[in-house]
Amino acid sequence: MPTYDYRCPEGHQFELFQKMSDDPSRPCPICGEIAERLMSAGTGFLKGGGPKGEPPHAPRDVSEGGR
């Protein structure tokens, strides 16, 4: 189970073990405000399903005008 970073509006940051299906909004253990889950760049489980609205990344072969 991955660890998620949370940050509340007050600026407190904490980590939680959570499933992806769990509620992404958690109360901050310090002040009680609703903290938001930060997207961790380390897990990489988002690969394959990019953010909507983003066109597929097609590599373009530009070999013209080289010489």
**Minimum CB distance to Zn ion smaller for 3 or for 13:** 13
CA dihedral 5, 8, 33, 45 (to 10 degrees): -30
Nearest approach in angstroms of CB 57 to Zn ion is 37
Nearest approach in angstroms of CB 4 to Zn ion is 15
Nearest approach in angstroms of CB 59 to Zn ion is 43
CA distance 35 to 7: 5
**Minimum CB distance to Zn ion smaller for 10 or for 22:** 10
Task: By CB under 5 A, name the binding residues for Zn ion.
Answer: 8, 10, 12, 28, 30-31
Strand order in the sheet with 3-7: 13-17, 3-7, 34-38, 25-27
